[in-house]
């Protein structure tokens, strides 16, 4: 069934022919010859479309149109005689989708109905998208909630930079701290929240593919360029573009990014014409960019363009008092999608989580919560149910000589790596870090 249509027409022959026609087109079609009958039908059905005659025995079609709570939900096509153009104009002002002059051709009416139904479908998709965006907005902001001074400061900085919606922002922090969530929060709290939010990981693609994704290309720019393609800078117009792992971008592409930041224009690959864009650039990295600059791997001039408003996201170990709140949040998210499961964390388990070092930060915490709820659904989760190497033990709280944070991190990562049978994918998942970060860490430890 393609949808529900109500035909409101007092001429019996025309009314019945329209009903037969649209039923053959696979629409559930009902009819009414008066305003009263139309009102009764609308009280019992949610119509997608109404074809409404303007002159009816008990009044004007305009009266019914004015009563419809949301003419965008039930689209209305008014049928009017040619001399009644002013009536059609009034109908459009009241929210009618379009009008058609009588007498009309059925093929002409069908085209109009098809266009109306396509519009209704598109509006539904847009509304669904907006609802999802609202949920993302709520999620990103909720994840930043907490009673610690660190998160309060972070929220204040997000709100401050969000108000200046053209300011370039650099988000700094270890892997897994939630840099992407901070980028989302900046977008949704800004004046660009109705615009697109697009994201790309600069470490995930080779330089040539990354350039194509960012800048797009003209038809014929290279062998497989069979059609023109817009890049993310253009697609994010009036919105926000989030460049994650920006420190991994190759120097040649860094120069092109710098030019975009300087004049807000892009040139597609194979193109000659600069294209103006209105987009906010938010970047993130877990690297020390000054070290990258000294090593000749990152442009100093680009650093200063990106570093207009830096935001440092604190590692989880610096605000352990927020862990119970995050546990509750992740538990709710998991149970929302697994309604048959019920579980809770014991005070001892929460204390264990608070004492853990969390080299994978919030991402690692989320993975631990999900794994624990999957394995122990329907009961209480205790410390021994948590897959934490050294949880509440001397591996995390040494009794001998004090260890530096780097030494604790190394000890934990190598322990998980050994526990997983030296499987890098499983180790990265358990730690809540990406494989590139794990590979770099193992190389530093001489364990790759």
- 262-294 pLDDT tens trace: 999 999 999 999 999 999 999 999 999 999 999
Burial class (CB in 10 A: 0-12, 13-18, 19+), 220: exposed
The whole-number pLDDT of residue 251 equals 94
Would 4-124 and 317-445 be classified into the same CATH topology? Answer: no
Nearest CA among 212, 12, 251, 105 for reference residue 113: 105
Answer with the residue of higher pLDDT: 398 or 259: 259
Among 6-20, 235-249, 346-360, 364-378, the minimum mean pLDDT is found in 364-378
| pLDDT band, very low/low/confident/very high, at 135 (cuts 50, 70, 90) | low
Select 144-314's CATH number: 3.40.50.1100, 1.10.3720.10, 3.40.50.300, 3.30.565.10: 3.40.50.300
> Does residue 309 contact residue 169 with C-beta atoms inside 8 Å?
yes
Nearest CA among 222, 189, 198, 195 for reference residue 208: 222
Tell me the pLDDT tens digit for each residue of 312-362. Answer: 999 999 999 999 999 998 888 887 776 666 788 999 999 999 999 999 999
Nearest CA among 288, 199, 298 for reference residue 240: 199
CB atoms near residue 108 (< 10 Å): 11
State pTM to two decimals.
0.64
> Does residue 38 contact residue 60 with C-beta atoms inside 8 Å?
no
In the chain, where the domains are located = 4-124, 144-314, 317-445
> Does residue 364 contact residue 432 with C-beta atoms inside 8 Å?
yes
- What span, in angstroms and rounded, lies between the C-alpha atoms of 73 and 123? 9
Strands 55-56 and 59-60: antiparallel
| pLDDT band, very low/low/confident/very high, at 218 (cuts 50, 70, 90) | very high
Which is the CATH superfamily of the domain at 4-124? Response regulator (3.40.50.2300)
The whole-number pLDDT of residue 17 equals 94
CB atoms near residue 382 (< 10 Å): 15
Return all residues near 397 (Cβ < 8 A) that are at least 6 apart. 355
| pLDDT band, very low/low/confident/very high, at 147 (cuts 50, 70, 90) | confident
As a CATH number, domain 317-445 is 1.10.8.60
- What span, in angstroms and rounded, lies between the C-alpha atoms of 417 and 55? 78
| pLDDT band, very low/low/confident/very high, at 396 (cuts 50, 70, 90) | very low
Nearest CA among 125, 173, 170, 180 for reference residue 150: 173
> Does residue 317 contact residue 148 with C-beta atoms inside 8 Å?
no
């Amino acid at each position: 069934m393609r949808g529900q249509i109500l035909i409101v027409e007092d001429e019996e022959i025309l009314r019945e022919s329209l009903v037969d026609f649209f039923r053959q087109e696979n629409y559930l079609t009902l009819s009414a010859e008066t305003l009263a009958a139309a009102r009764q039908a609308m009280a019992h059905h949610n119509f997608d479309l109404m074809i409404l005659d303007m002159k009816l025995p008990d009044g004007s079609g305009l009266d019914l149109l004015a009563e419809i709570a949301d003419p965008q939900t039930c689209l209305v096509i008014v049928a009017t005689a040619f001399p009644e153009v002013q009536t059609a104009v009034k109908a459009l002002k009241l929210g009618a989708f379009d009008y058609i002059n009588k007498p009309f051709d059925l093929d002409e009416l069908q085209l109009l109905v098809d266009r109306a139904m396509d519009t209704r479908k598109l509006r539904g998709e847009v509304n669904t998208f907006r609802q999802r965006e609202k949920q993302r907005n709520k999620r990103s902001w909720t994840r930043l909630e907490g009673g610690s001074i660190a998160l309060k400061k972070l929220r204040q900085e997000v709100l401050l930079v969000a108000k200046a919606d053209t300011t370039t922002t650099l988000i700094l922090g270890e892997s897994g701290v939630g840099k992407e969530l901070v980028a989302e929060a900046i977008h949704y709290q800004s004046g660009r929240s109705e615009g697109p939010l697009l994201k790309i990981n600069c470490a995930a693609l080779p330089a040539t593919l990354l350039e194509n994704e960012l800048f797009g290309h003209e038809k014929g720019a290279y062998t497989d360029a069979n059609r023109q393609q817009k890049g993310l800078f253009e697609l994010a117009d009036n919105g926000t573009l989030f460049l994650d792992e920006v420190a991994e971008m190759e120097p040649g592409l860094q120069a092109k990014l710098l030019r975009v930041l300087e004049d807000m224009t892009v040139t597609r690959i194979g193109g000659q014409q600069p294209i103006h864009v209105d987009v906010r650039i938010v970047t993130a990295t877990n690297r020390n960019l000054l070290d990258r600059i000294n090593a000749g791997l990152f442009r100093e001039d680009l650093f200063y363009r990106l570093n207009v408003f830096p935001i440092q996201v604190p590692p989880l170990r610096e605000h352990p008092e927020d862990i119970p709140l995050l546990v509750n949040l992740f538990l709710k998210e998991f149970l929302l999608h697994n309604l048959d499961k019920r579980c809770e964390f014991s005070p001892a388990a929460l204390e264990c989580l608070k004492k853990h070092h969390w080299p994978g930060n919030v991402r690692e915490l989320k993975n631990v919560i999900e794994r624990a709820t999957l394995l122990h659904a329907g009961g209480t989760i205790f410390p021994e149910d948590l897959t934490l190497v050294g949880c509440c033990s001397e591996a995390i709280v040494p009794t001998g000589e004090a260890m530096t944070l780097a030494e604790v991190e190394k000890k934990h990562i190598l322990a998980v790596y050994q526990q997983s049978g030296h499987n890098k994918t499983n180790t990265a998942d358990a730690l809540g870090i990406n494989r590139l970060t794990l590979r770099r860490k193992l190389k530093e430890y001489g364990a790759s």
